[in-house]
Amino acid sequence: MLSSLTTELYRRVRPLLFSLEAETAHHLAMGALATASRLRFPLPWLRAASGADRSGTAQARTVFGVHFPNPVGLAAGFDKNGVALTAWEALGFGFIEAGTLTARPQPGNPPPRMFRVPERRALINRLGFNNGGAEAAAERFRRLRAAGRWPSIPVGINIGKSKATPLAQATEDYVFSLGKLHPHGDYFVLNVSSPNTPGLRSLQGRDELDALLRAVQQKNRTLPAPRPMLVKIAPDLSFPQIEEILDLARQHELAGIVATNTTVDHTSLPASVPYETGGLSGEPLRARSTEVVRFLAGRTPLPIIAVGGVGDAASAREKLDAGATLVQLYTGFVYGGPTLVPEICRGLSANKTGMDAERPSLP
Ligand SMILES: Cc1cc2nc3c(=O)[nH]c(=O)nc-3n(C[C@H](O)[C@H](O)[C@H](O)COP(=O)(O)O)c2cc1C
């Protein structure tokens, strides 16, 4: 089977990729996927090589009015500018979250800013929203659609605050990006939880988030087709803080919650790992992220997109069992490679116990 060969190939290629600096390897992979997306003819091969042609549709679901062919999505940050959309579809993803895109283009923090922790299948990053800006992305998305190169899976768009915009004007930044990008996103995520933009996480505070959600939803309602609006939260919030966010989510009619972003808590890493400032993702985040998802699911009927430490079918099922409706992954893909997502989908279909479990009942 071609996908078994791909798995073996990735096992052999990964040490070479991992011998490169983490961000260099990322750009190399993204370059290859963007090229495949642009040329189109490699996509059927990519589908067969990843095993996506055998994923089936048993896990399809409709969430906040959007149809997802399977529940495993690409987490925000991998394809910030949305340059490889059809390649992700060929790799078996059920949806893509492009972004974080900001109102202004920006280079992000100085490199090095992305680090692997292979012994824990983890990453640490302090990229700081390096991206080409909302306007450029909107123009590229418009051209992709016009050229018939838009994927058939849902595309969510994750938006954040530009570093140069003062916190007091953050709301205008989000509203601007929504205005530019709204025709292209099947759903939108307000990222208020990245640890790498100074002050951003303070937008999770009651008053700040209240103002942000009010302004964004006001803008959203004026658009020809208002989009499902979600908020992405940090795993480092306390449960009372999360309850406050849920209150606001109800008040402002959000469509769901994305949980979680990376953590600033590095205490789970062995002392031998050199300290690097930034958000920790992957396996060390798995348990806390699941805990947050379970807490949310016990308190809200809103759909939850669970992200944090998903790297195989068992960890995906753990999130769904905790009450998530969809899952996403980033770090797991770096370690697992191109056959991972179809493998997860087949694993979920093979044992549907988790999928059929009732959502925990609300108190
Ligand atoms: C290198 C890197 C860059 C990321 N960039 C973003 C981003 O731009 N916006 C965002 O909302 N999350 C970003 N994330 C967080 C991921 O979307 C995800 O929430 C987190 O990594 C946990 O999932 P994982 O354990 O599957 O990686 C980034 C993560 C990594 C590792």
**What digits encode the pLDDT tens for the residues 84-105?**
999 999 999 999 999 999 999 9
Q: Measured in angstroms, how far is the CA atom of residue 261 from the centroid of ligand 1?
A: 6
Task: For residue 352, name the pLDDT band (cuts at 50, 70, 90).
Answer: low
E runs forming strands in the chain: 61-63, 66-68, 72-74, 95-102, 114-117, 122-125, 155-160, 187-191, 229-233, 256-259, 279-282, 304-307, 326-329
129/163 Cα distance (integer angstroms): 8
Q: Measured in angstroms, how far is the CA atom of residue 331 from the centroid of ligand 1?
A: 8
Per-residue pLDDT, averaged over 101-124, amounts to: 97
% of the chain with per-residue pLDDT over 70: 97
- Which atom of ligand 1 is least distant from the CA of 329? 26
Q: Measured in angstroms, how far is the CA atom of residue 353 from the centroid of ligand 1?
A: 28
- Which atom of ligand 1 is least distant from the CA of 311? 26
- Span 163-207, pLDDT tens digits: 999 988 999 999 999 999 999 999 999 999 889 888 888 887 888
- Which atom of ligand 1 is least distant from the CA of 282? 25
Residue nearest to atom 19 of ligand 1 (CA): 261
Q: Measured in angstroms, how far is the CA atom of residue 1 from the centroid of ligand 1?
A: 32
Side chain identity at residue 295, one-letter code: F
The catalytic position among 50, 194, 281, 289 is 194
For residue 130 the two structure tokens come to: 């390096």
Residue nearest to atom 1 of ligand 1 (CA): 125
Q: Measured in angstroms, how far is the CA atom of residue 123 from the centroid of ligand 1?
A: 9
Q: Measured in angstroms, how far is the CA atom of residue 363 from the centroid of ligand 1?
A: 31
Choose which residue among 281, 283, 285 to substitute to test ligand 1 binding: the one with the highest number of ligand atoms within 8 A of its C-beta. 281
Choose which residue among 330, 333, 335 to substitute to test ligand 1 binding: the one with the highest number of ligand atoms within 8 A of its C-beta. 330
Lowest mean pLDDT among 4-8, 23-27, 114-118: 4-8
Half-sphere exposure of 224 (CA within 13 A, CB side): 6
207/205 Cα distance (integer angstroms): 6
Side chain identity at residue 2, one-letter code: L
Paired residues of 328 in beta bridges: 73, 307
107 by DSSP, 3-state: which? coil
Residue nearest to atom 29 of ligand 1 (CA): 77
How confident is the model at residue 359, as a pLDDT? 42
Report residues whose beta carbon is within 6 angstroms of any ligand 1 atom.
75-77, 80, 100, 114, 123, 125, 127, 129, 158, 191, 194, 232, 261-262, 281-282, 285, 307-310, 329-332
Residue nearest to atom 5 of ligand 1 (CA): 77
Q: Measured in angstroms, how far is the CA atom of residue 262 from the centroid of ligand 1?
A: 6
CATH level 2 (architecture), domain 2-356: Alpha-Beta Barrel (3.20)
How confident is the model at residue 208, as a pLDDT? 92
Per-residue pLDDT, averaged over 236-253, amounts to: 96
How confident is the model at residue 353, as a pLDDT? 46
Lowest mean pLDDT among 171-175, 197-201, 231-235, 297-301: 197-201
245/255 Cα distance (integer angstroms): 13
Do residues 280 and 264 touch, judged by C-beta distance below 8 A? Answer: yes
Let me know the angle formed at the C-alpha of 282 by 201 and 90, rounded to the nearest 5 degrees: 105
Do residues 225 and 188 touch, judged by C-beta distance below 8 A? Answer: no
Per-residue b/e over 144-180, b at no fewer than 16 CB within 10 Å? beeeeebbebbbbbbbbbbbebeeeebbebbbbbbeb
Per-residue pLDDT, averaged over 218-233, amounts to: 96
Q: Is 281 a catalytic residue?
A: no
8 by DSSP, 3-state: which? helix
238/326 Cα distance (integer angstroms): 23
Paired residues of 62 in beta bridges: 67
Per-residue pLDDT, averaged over 267-274, amounts to: 92
Per-residue pLDDT, averaged over 338-357, amounts to: 78
Backbone φ, ψ for residue 287 (5° rounding):
-65, -45
Choose which residue among 162, 194, 262 to substitute to test ligand 1 binding: the one with the highest number of ligand atoms within 8 A of its C-beta. 262
Average pLDDT of the chain, as a whole number: 93
94 by DSSP, 3-state: which? coil
230/321 Cα distance (integer angstroms): 21
